[in-house]
Structure 1
Amino acid sequence: MDGDRDLFLTAWIGDTLAGSATLDRTITGGDGADGEVARLRWFIVSDAARGTGVGRLLLSHALAFADERGYRLVWLTTFAGLDAARHLYESHGFRLVAETGEDKWHGGVGEQRFERRVDDDGPARAAGT
């Protein structure tokens, strides 16, 4: 963890942990954009906090951090079927770029990769947003 390039956020409702997000700079995101790539490695909101805006706030802060540091690509992996999370990602400019039916966790779900790319005009937006 390097505070100049990596981020660890927590959100609290009173004394209760409501969610967290972790973003870290990666050597490469698989496209050769060395040094300009970050991974949203961890993003979770408690069941009790879902629908309160906590997730949107965490994701917005993480992406603002990435933009301030000039990360041209932010990527994440998640499980297929998490529709509310997918909507949140897409509303923040992420696009589904890969999907596999491979079940790495033995839970009966495939894996998805989402990417948010930034060009000279700012973050790329998903179609229709």
Structure 2
Amino acid sequence: MSVREVREFNRFYTNLIGALDYSRHLHTPYTLTEARVLYELAHARGTDAADLRAVLSLDAGHLSRMLAKFEEQQLVTRGPSAQDARRQRIELTSQGRQAAALLEERSQEAVGTLLDAVPPQDRPRLAEAMGTVRRILRDGEADRAGRSPAGRRVVLRGPRPGDLGWAVERNAAVYAAEFGWDEEYEALVARIVADYAADHDAEREAMWVAELDGQRAGCVFCVRDEAPGTARLRLLLVDPAARGHGLGRRLVEKCISFARSAGYEHLVLWTNDVLADARRIYERAGFTLVAEEPHRSFGKELNGQDWHLAL
């Protein structure tokens, strides 16, 4: 493959989706970058400006000017983060949520129109090809070398003695520190881990530990759900000190790959909307939000979410 071929494809695809004239293409006043920022804010309540810069790879000055424009248009509010006053917390106003919803509706319509031209029998092949392109370009040389983008050694492995206890301790400690969750959450995690330890089918259920430079840094479980043909992703965790190295993505992809190879037809998970980083990983892995319900758990008022992935 040559550089010329990649550039030809880029020109073809950007023209196909109307990226060069996005506002006219979707009949909205927003550029493609502005629409993407609104999308991220709509799907990650209370996002920090630093998070947006990292997720979208935006220049700090460009993002700051864009947010100032949104604030002037009464689409967003800005203020110090409750967790760290040095960080700027960004939230959509009701008017901003309406704008994001309109963009979502028109984007769905545009993609639906695009897919209408694709014969049904060709759509699985198209989806597979898109997934292949995404995985190859995203993973790149870093994954093939078993290293994070920063060059640190990353390993995913099965559980060893002490890992189950570590999963309970780190889940409880991290969520207490970051979200103020009480011992009710630790008790829930302990029950999930104890059930897995006491009785799990090694052919259909698994746990993985992510190591960064030889140290435990994250984990995830894949267990059988009550619904037929369905697996459940549980207890995804990346230690705060190890974030930014793609561990969460790799753990989720490992879980998806295992569920497929084990013969499951669906993979589901339950999370809360305050876990913005995890939700972005799920969404990029292909999960779809199917239900939301407010609840009081772990000493906090939360909004629970159910996500689904067809395998």
TM over 0.5: yes
Matched, 1:63 2:256: yes
Q: Is the 8 A contact 1:103 1:111 kept in 2?
A: no
72, 96, 105: which one pairs with 2:265? 72
1:50-94, Cα deviation, whole Å (9 max, x unpaired): 111111111111100011112111111111122221111011111
Give, in whole Å, the separation in 2 of the partners of 1:93 and 1:15. 30
Q: How does 1:45-124 map to 2 (within 5 A)?
A: 45-118=238-311
Q: How does 1:28-47 map to 2 (within 5 A)?
A: 28=227, 34=228, 36-47=229-240
Q: Which structure carries more helix by proportion? A: 2
Give, in whole Å, the separation in 1 of the partners of 2:239 and 2:245. 10
Q: List 4+ stretches of structure 1 deviating above 4 A.
A: none
Residue 3 (structure 1) shift: 1.0
Give, in whole Å, the separation in 2 of the partners of 1:55 and 1:94. 14
Residue 2 (structure 1) shift: 1.5
Q: Which structure carries more strand by proportion? A: 1
**Aligned CA-pair RMSD:** 1.2
With the length of structure 1 as denominator, give the TM-score of the two structures. 0.81
Give the match's secondary structure for 1:4: coil
217, 223, 241: which one pairs with 1:24? 223
Match of 1:127 in 2: none
Give the match's secondary structure for 1:3: coil
Give the match's secondary structure for 2:301: coil
Match of 1:3 in 2: 202
Match of 1:121 in 2: none
Give, in whole Å, the separation in 2 of the partners of 1:2 and 1:100. 31
Which structure has the higher relative contact order (CA within 8 Å, separation 6+)? 1
Give the match's secondary structure for 2:260: helix
Q: Is the 8 A contact 2:294 2:301 kept in 1?
A: no
Uncovered stretches (5+) of structure 1, i.e. residues with no partner: 29-33, 119-129
Give, in whole Å, the separation in 2 of the partners of 1:98 and 1:27. 17
**Seq. identity, %:** 33
Uncovered stretches (5+) of structure 2, i.e. residues with no partner: 1-199
Give, in whole Å, the separation in 2 of the partners of 1:17 and 1:74. 25
Give, in whole Å, the separation in 1 of the partners of 2:216 and 2:246. 14
